[in-house]
């Protein structure tokens, strides 16, 4: 069974940092693009970042404008884990963060993502 588990969320002060982990089980992560998304109550889910498959010739990495220069996505296929390093955090980064996957490449519209995890809560507050 294909499954993701997100971890690393918590409470952080504005300007602080957190690193989220998205760990896969049940499939070979090498062949999948992995995306991070976030959602707050009453709002639509927002795409945050995506990293293409290690097997992809494209090799693209995408970031939402709201996180460019502050967040970094990376992957460790040996650990079946994708990370989201979040720096210089802002209160508006508060959300539940989810990861999901699609075969091969990221898409600019983030379409075709599946195998959603249950999410991890991130709260940025003083």
CB 22 within 8 A of CB 101: no
10 Å CB burial of residue 89 (0-12, 13-18, 19+) is buried
State the Cα–Cα distance between residues 62 and 52, nearest whole angstrom: 9
Sign of the C-alpha dihedral computed for residues 40, 41, 42 and 44 taken in this order = positive
State the pLDDT at residue 6.
96
State the pLDDT at residue 54.
87
10 Å CB burial of residue 106 (0-12, 13-18, 19+) is buried
Least confident of 9-13, 55-59, 96-100: 55-59
Statement: residue 33 has pLDDT above 90: yes
């Amino acid at each position: 069974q294909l499954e993701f588990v997100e971890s690393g969320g918590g409470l952080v002060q504005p300007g602080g940092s957190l690193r989220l982990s998205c760990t896969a089980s049940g499939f070979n992560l090498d062949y999948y693009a992995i995306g991070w998304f976030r959602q707050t109550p009453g709002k639509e889910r927002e795409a945050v970042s995506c990293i293409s498959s290690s097997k992809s010739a494209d090799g693209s990495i995408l970031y939402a404008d709201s996180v460019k220069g502050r967040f970094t996505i990376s992957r460790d296929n040996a650990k079946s884990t994708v990370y989201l390093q979040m720096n210089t955090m802002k209160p508006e980064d508060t959300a539940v963060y989810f990861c999901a996957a699609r075969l091969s490449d990221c898409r600019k519209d983030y379409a075709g993502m599946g195998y959603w995890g249950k999410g991890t809560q991130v709260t940025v507050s003083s």
